Amino acid sequence: MVEGRCMKCKAQRVMKDDKEIEIAGKGGTKRRAATGLCEVCGTKMFKFLPKKTV
């Protein structure tokens, strides 16, 4: 379960159908992020996830 800020609700919401994705950053780095839908209004949400500590 991932929580993020919904731009429409202007509040912290639980993401529905959340998916973990990787975004290519500068210098060949990859950042983990999650996308999903706001549980309340269905607006698409996006959130960067903390780096994986290996």
Please, which residues bridge with residue 49 across strands?
A: none
Least separation in angstroms between CB 20 and Zn ion: 20
Least separation in angstroms between CB 34 and Zn ion: 15
Least separation in angstroms between CB 18 and Zn ion: 14
User: Residues 6 or more apart from 38 whose CB is under 8 A from it?
Assistant: 6, 8, 9, 13, 15, 16, 44, 45
Q: Choose between 44 and 51: whose C-beta lies nearer to Zn ion.
A: 44
Contact set with Zn ion (CB under 5 A)? 6, 8-9, 38, 40-41, 43
